[in-house]
Chain A
Amino acid sequence: MAIDSKLVERIAKLSRISLTESEVKNLSSDLDNILNWIEQLSELDTEGINPVFSSFDEEEIKYRSDEINDGGYREDIISNAPLSEDGFFLVPKVVD
């Protein structure tokens, strides 16, 4: 399927990335190329195959015990924030 600029703009919106017109153009052609190449997977019959989402096939899951032994270091949590005040992260006002 062809990737057009409208689709690129929709994906960019979902990805929260703003694009210039020329970026949209370039990405349309890049993505079109790449996805066409990826398309070769469709020649493979995968009927009845169970997908593998991880290459980790160890049986046993490790659980955490329900203890509190983390947190309590607010300064570290916000130390890299571009904008913070009184221990809060600050973001442009969000209105619902």
Chain B
Amino acid sequence: MKEFSTLSIKETISSLKNKDFSVSELIDFHISSMENGRELNAFITETSDIARKKAIVCDQNYSKGEEKPLEGIPIGIKDMFCTKGVKTTASSKMLENFIPPYESTVTQNLWDDGAILLGKLNNDEFAMGSSNETSFFGEVKNPWKNSMDNFTVPGGSSGGSATSVAAGIGLASLGTDTGGSIRQPASFTGTVGLKPTYGRCSRWGIIAFASSLDQAGPITKTVRDCALLLNSICSYDPKDSTSSQKKIPDFEKATDESIKGMKIGIPKEYEADGISEDIIEYIEKGKEWLVESGAEIIEISLPHIKYALPCYYIIAPAEASSNLARYDGVKFTHRVDAENIIDMYEETRSQGFGDEVKRRIMIGTYVLSSGYYDAYYLKAQKVRAMISQDFKEAFSKVDAIYGPSTPSTAFELGDKKKDPLEMYLNDVFTVPVNLAGLPAMSVPVGLDKKNLPIGMQLIGNSFNEESILSIASCIEKSAKFDLNPNRWWINE
């Protein structure tokens, strides 16, 4: 049955159409993969029963020839997406038993296209983290151990989403990306991860971390699968004031487009940032592939990009401090009883939130508080404007920007847990994109000396996911990356 786990969505769908196997067989395989993979701790909630039931319906649709674009495809969903009737926790004690009475727009789009929910995936608590170590439900392990045979982190915050796909559990997953939470874990696990332009996907029903930055996106094995999922999840949603009405192009088609004559920018500012040697090597390799495919490499400058991280660590916590105020012990599951309302609030929130979440709420409260707003929050929003302007100027010269997704490959579990600032620095390449609302993706290119995947990031202009999909597709073909970690988690 091994062939199931190596198939892409595209291949699976054609096999299902050919009746090589049924949806029920496919789902049974993935359910057993999920059960065998529990040591990875990728799933918080397994929805095997729901999946088996829907598989029967999907099989009927195939036999009637009424299959929808993602009919029968098992997909894991980050536990930040509200799923109707299925526990949704944000990996927090605060929502330990929260069962949403509604379904997020993007997941509904998937189900409407025939996809099947396999389970809810672990992530950093409220999507705050870069290693999936802040989850109330425990850390997620990267399927890729390093050459010292030590466990590594899958990245975060969509760690469970990346791990599940890398381990062949489910054919794809959904993550959310506020400062790199899709691209960094994709990079760490050898998967493809894409954050669409802000406004492409509805945020309705996604538990908010930082509203002006959050965006949903897919993690997949291949660039084409990524495009397929994108076609399904993107939609205009009147329930989200920041949802775009722009036409949604055929993303899959973009993966077949040649990149000949495309101008691809490489920011000179990237060079200074302590990138590991193996990654630098692959940046160069990638350049060669792109030039061989007919693209033109142009050096560009993003002069304010080095301020993106501190800017982000004002804006995101500020929004989060307000977004997370609703978790107060009144409406949702977790409450610590107390005699008076203030104690109830304070104890509930103290015990319901983990350290990183509390840290960010505190930073956010501080930067918004009276007397500090101008110096921090307002200042950061001005810096954000400057960063956006940098990108605007760059995109007047190039079609896409190319560079590494992360400064290093996956680090060992526990390595950066003690120093929050060091952890934050891991998002140096991903964060600027969120501040400017641009689409970006990570595509795997190879392994470093520690036997860990390296991902390259492509950044597109606003509402131009197509260019980066075309380029990613070209890199994918040249890199011939084999997503095949040693399956240590299966005890047989």
Residues of A within 8 A of B (CB): 7-8, 11-12, 14-19, 23, 27, 30-31, 33-35, 37-42, 44, 46, 49-58, 60-62, 64, 73, 76, 78-83, 89, 91-94
Contacts and interface: CB of A to CB of B under 8 A. Distances in A.
B90 interface: no
A81 B332 contact: yes
Contacts of B98: 80
A53 B314 CA distance: 12
Interface string B340-382: 1111111101100100001101110110010000011011111
A55 B437 contact: yes
B69 interface: no
B120 interface: no
Contact of A30 (B101, B242, B321, B359): B359
Interface string B373-393: 001101111111110100000
A27 B359 contact: yes
B245 interface: yes
Contact of B199 (A51, A53, A56): A56
23 contacts: A7-B366, A16-B342, A17-B350, A18-B346, A18-B349, A31-B362, A34-B424, A35-B366, A38-B314, A41-B380, A44-B304, A51-B384, A52-B385, A54-B198, A54-B242, A55-B198, A55-B388, A56-B242, A56-B244, A58-B244, A60-B245, A62-B245, A81-B332
B450 to A, nearest CB: 28
B421 interface: yes
A51 B339 CA distance: 44
Contacts of A52: 381-382, 384-385, 388
A82 B337 CA distance: 10
A94 B328 CA distance: 14
A41 B241 contact: no
Contacts of B242: 54, 56
B174 to A, nearest CB: 21
B381 A41 contact: no
Interface string B402-438: 0000000000000000001100100000000011111
Contacts of B349: 15-18
A80 B212 CA distance: 27
Given A44-B307, A83-B335, A91-B341, A19 B329 contact: no
A80 B333 contact: yes
Given A31-B362, A81-B331, A89-B331, A62 B238 contact: yes
A18 B35 CA distance: 39
B464 to A, nearest CB: 14
A11 B365 contact: yes
Interface in B82-99: 97-99
B376 A38 contact: yes
B321 to A, nearest CB: 7
B333 A82 contact: yes
Nearest to B212: A54
Chain B interface size range: 35 or more
Nearest to B237: A62
Contact of A61 (B241, B361, B363, B378): B241
A8 B97 CA distance: 31
B321 A82 contact: no
A44 B383 contact: yes
Interface in B295-339: 304, 307, 310-311, 313-314, 321, 325, 328-335, 337-339
A89 to B, nearest CB: 5
Given A30-B359, A92-B341, A16 B346 contact: yes
A53 B274 CA distance: 31
Contacts of A64: 238
A64 B386 CA distance: 33
Interface in B222-259: 238, 241-246
A7 B363 CA distance: 11
B274 to A, nearest CB: 15
Contacts of B366: 7, 11, 31, 35
B385 A50 contact: yes
B331 A80 contact: yes
A14 B365 CA distance: 7
Given A31-B366, A51-B384, A81-B332, A94 B341 contact: yes
Contacts of B213: 55
**Max count, chain A CB within 10 A of own CB: residue among B339, B349, B359, B362:** B362
Contact of A11 (B199, B344, B362, B376): B362
Contact of A79 (B101, B375, B381): B101
Contacts of A60: 245
Given A8-B362, A54-B212, A55-B388, A15 B321 contact: yes
